Chain A
């Protein structure tokens, strides 16, 4: 009996780890795409926050979580258009303008929340999907096949993005522009258009990540993301700019979080130390970054605006 109880705990920890990894995965996939094209976006967290509010408010009004996801994407697209305009046309410094986007998102999402909602009201969360046979499998069923749709979207995007980068003309353009935009320009590939598209896709994934978070939690509050967007940026370095690496990083991060939560629930860590324990994921990420990320080279043109002939 003890054994089956232990199995139960492990299974539920892994399942919740996968669920917790999802917003990180979406956001860092988007950031990875942008960075491969040579654009750093430090504003992920801000975009996630506005996306989260947009989705929350939509679901509050319509009771339709799927519409919420679409609104999250839409918010991301708008923010992407905005960020692209700042960095590509106005050639603003990417580090600073990203921080600007973050602060804008942090303030704007809270302002909208206070104005239109005020007191937090819960919304309808996702229903877990049910697959015939698969979901009913012992152990594996609960671990992998009882999640909500957004989890499958996020993990499904990993091979899709890998394929696009490796096997399509668009992916080739992105990889080339992130390394040597001059070369791409000299062959008639538009650096601005390609980067713009990568920024918009990246931001829409950040918006989607925020939406997924709000709907999963069924709530919105000020600074809901609590710097998850910054962790997502760190995970891009951890994952060496590859979709697969980013996925592994997100999973590690989600699992550590799930374990910490589980430990809290069972009183393994005293309540007084729980704040310290909450730091564990961040510390582990930093350590992993120091060890892993140094071995990979970032895209050569990252953060460098492209001006023809300069």
Chain B
């Protein structure tokens, strides 16, 4: 029903899409797999009318079409479920659906009929969407189903699903996959954009792999496995999990006892949390974001006051210490928002690399920065951490997410931490850089570092950790050794259900 032939799109300096052929048949799920910047979004933005191709043609239902705006795409039956939901939280579900539609009673809105139709659609596809609820009241999973309703309401025969599982829990993913399969069975064509190999293999009928704007593979789940797909994506062999050099854990370096931390809205975000991380081990903290992980990380780093409880870092009570004092006791912190809290985008790389030590010898002498020493140190780290950059004088924000994260890792790990706290270390980072970052974190075991990795990405937590703690509603629901952990057992804890037999180990 859809054919895209020879699509080429150039941006200044980049060939975002290079002679790409892509097609979708009715009733199938066709996956577009690729790293960030591989050209998946560019291709889909062309299909959704947000960009126009420089060369090539698009055929919908056999007719060549020109899509100049989302409105054009919608009228040709193309619907898109955006990764960042395109919903207005202050409006009701019905109002969100009605937005942009020709009203039957123009100029007045016609919410009554819209609501009726929403209820019908919701019932026939099992979406459980209710027209009169306000969007801000809905969970992430529910919001996504509102997006689906929006597309269905507009009679979308081709649905573009842009990383739809990125924000969902494992059980929500299972539910949404059932819905996707139902939509395909209804005769619609689905384009599934993802970089999660496991999900791609589970849902797809066909898979097209993109790299650097070019198609590097056409395959099906039956003909390939995760390693094949990763190779096509990255262009070389990729280790999907770092080699585990299990180290006998030593003494506890980070001990948290009965910690309470307030969130931004006043109520406790962390509620009576206790845990312990030992030298040479990695503790992964899994959980859906918004369950107190950010507040916990900020409390450990001293960026957010703790209401009660105790944090002991390398034998010192750091509960009330300032961030600087905590770092001097041996904490390295890789924050969740790398451009906000991790690095100064306007600074060049060498400035970001010495950011913590810019007032200390040898980088600073009697109040003057020692540029020779700084440059030498930076060059060494840029090389050691394989940061891809033209020079150490490059403005940091011009690097890719993965390379910025490598700069931050270089700074934090070169401090020789006793405790490493890494929050979402590979979010928005391409597979190649993620592999490298994982390798680095894993190697901290041998140096006797106690590491905490907070991540929403369950695969990441399972690949890296020695033990996995699951956070829900500000508490640790359970801590499971990696060998005993399954996606199902962790997924269950993520939704707040206490698992039988999961011991609450501090």
Known: A175-B91, A179-B89, A308-B50. A188 touches B107 (CB 8 A): no
Min CB gap B144→A, angstroms: 14
- 20 interchain pairs, CB-CB under 8 A: A167-B108, A168-B107, A168-B109, A169-B103, A169-B109, A172-B109, A173-B100, A175-B88, A175-B90, A176-B91, A176-B95, A179-B89, A182-B86, A183-B99, A184-B88, A184-B99, A184-B100, A186-B82, A187-B86, A187-B101
| B74 touching A188, Cβ below 8 Å | yes
**A-chain residues with CB within 8 Å of residue B87 when the two chains form the complex:** 180, 183
Is the CB of B106 closer than 8 A to any CB of chain A? Answer: yes
Within 8 A of A (CB), among B453-495: none
| B91 touching A188, Cβ below 8 Å | no
Assembled-state Cα–Cα distance A24/B150 (Å): 40
**A-chain residues with CB within 8 Å of residue B150 when the two chains form the complex:** 187
| A188 touching B86, Cβ below 8 Å | no
- Main DSSP-derived SS at the B contact region: loop
| B108 touching A183, Cβ below 8 Å | no
Is the CB of B96 closer than 8 A to any CB of chain A? Answer: yes
Pick from A167, A180, A308: contact of B88, CB under 8 Å: A180
Find the B residue at minimum CB distance from A181: B88
Min CB gap A241→B, angstroms: 11
| A189 touching B100, Cβ below 8 Å | yes
Binding site for A on B (CB under 8 A): 45, 50-51, 69-71, 74, 80, 82, 85-91, 95-96, 98-101, 103, 106-109, 150
**B-chain residues with CB within 8 Å of residue A132 when the two chains form the complex:** none
Within 8 A of B (CB), among A234-255: none
Find the B residue at minimum CB distance from A297: B90
Find the A residue at minimum CB distance from B90: A179
**B-chain residues with CB within 8 Å of residue A142 when the two chains form the complex:** none
| B109 touching A186, Cβ below 8 Å | no
| B99 touching A187, Cβ below 8 Å | yes
Assembled-state Cα–Cα distance A45/B243 (Å): 68
Within 8 A of B (CB), among A137-194: 167-173, 175-176, 179-180, 182-189
A-B pairs, top 5 by smallest CB distance, nearest first, are A188-B71, A187-B100, A183-B86, A186-B86, A189-B100
Assembled-state Cα–Cα distance A298/B119 (Å): 31
Assembled-state Cα–Cα distance A209/B340 (Å): 44
Assembled-state Cα–Cα distance A185/B366 (Å): 56
Is the CB of A267 closer than 8 A to any CB of chain B? Answer: no
Assembled-state Cα–Cα distance A254/B71 (Å): 46
Is the CB of A309 closer than 8 A to any CB of chain B? Answer: yes
Min CB gap B429→A, angstroms: 22
Known: A168-B108, A170-B107, A172-B99. A179 touches B74 (CB 8 A): no
Residues of A in contact with B, size category: 20 to 34
Assembled-state Cα–Cα distance A249/B85 (Å): 36
| A167 touching B109, Cβ below 8 Å | yes
| A309 touching B89, Cβ below 8 Å | no
Min CB gap B483→A, angstroms: 45
| B50 touching A309, Cβ below 8 Å | yes
**B-chain residues with CB within 8 Å of residue A170 when the two chains form the complex:** 107
Looking at B69, B85, B90, B103, which has the most chain A CB atoms within 10 Å of its CB?
B90
Assembled-state Cα–Cα distance A168/B101 (Å): 12
CB-CB contacts of A291-302 with B at 8 A, as 1s and 0s? 000000000100
Known: A188-B74, A188-B100. A180 touches B86 (CB 8 A): yes
Known: A168-B109, A169-B106, A179-B90. A186 touches B96 (CB 8 A): no
**B-chain residues with CB within 8 Å of residue A189 when the two chains form the complex:** 99-100
| A187 touching B107, Cβ below 8 Å | no
**A-chain residues with CB within 8 Å of residue B45 when the two chains form the complex:** 309
**B-chain residues with CB within 8 Å of residue A173 when the two chains form the complex:** 99-100
Assembled-state Cα–Cα distance A17/B45 (Å): 56
Known: A169-B108, A183-B96. A176 touches B103 (CB 8 A): no
**A-chain residues with CB within 8 Å of residue B88 when the two chains form the complex:** 175-176, 179-180, 183-184
**A-chain residues with CB within 8 Å of residue B69 when the two chains form the complex:** 188
Min CB gap B345→A, angstroms: 16
Assembled-state Cα–Cα distance A198/B311 (Å): 54
Min CB gap A191→B, angstroms: 11
**B-chain residues with CB within 8 Å of residue A179 when the two chains form the complex:** 88-91
**A-chain residues with CB within 8 Å of residue B71 when the two chains form the complex:** 187-188
**A-chain residues with CB within 8 Å of residue B74 when the two chains form the complex:** 187-188
**A-chain residues with CB within 8 Å of residue B95 when the two chains form the complex:** 172, 175-176
Looking at B45, B51, B82, B91, which has the most chain A CB atoms within 10 Å of its CB?
B91
Assembled-state Cα–Cα distance A169/B107 (Å): 6
Find the A residue at minimum CB distance from B110: A169
Looking at B45, B80, B87, B150, which has the most chain A CB atoms within 10 Å of its CB?
B87
**A-chain residues with CB within 8 Å of residue B86 when the two chains form the complex:** 180, 182-183, 186-187
Pick from A172, A182, A188, A308: contact of B98, CB under 8 Å: A172
**A-chain residues with CB within 8 Å of residue B106 when the two chains form the complex:** 169
Assembled-state Cα–Cα distance A187/B85 (Å): 12
| A187 touching B70, Cβ below 8 Å | yes
Looking at A169, A185, A189, A300, which has the most chain B CB atoms within 10 Å of its CB?
A169
Min CB gap A171→B, angstroms: 8
Assembled-state Cα–Cα distance A183/B98 (Å): 12
Assembled-state Cα–Cα distance A191/B150 (Å): 19
Assembled-state Cα–Cα distance A169/B94 (Å): 12
Assembled-state Cα–Cα distance A175/B50 (Å): 23
**B-chain residues with CB within 8 Å of residue A169 when the two chains form the complex:** 98, 103, 106-109
Assembled-state Cα–Cα distance A176/B103 (Å): 16
Known: A167-B109, A169-B107, A170-B107. A180 touches B70 (CB 8 A): no
Assembled-state Cα–Cα distance A179/B108 (Å): 21
Find the B residue at minimum CB distance from A180: B88
Assembled-state Cα–Cα distance A308/B82 (Å): 14
Assembled-state Cα–Cα distance A183/B81 (Å): 11
Assembled-state Cα–Cα distance A189/B70 (Å): 9
**B-chain residues with CB within 8 Å of residue A176 when the two chains form the complex:** 88, 91, 95-96, 99
Known: A179-B88, A179-B90. A188 touches B108 (CB 8 A): no
**B-chain residues with CB within 8 Å of residue A180 when the two chains form the complex:** 86-89
**B-chain residues with CB within 8 Å of residue A183 when the two chains form the complex:** 85-88, 96, 99
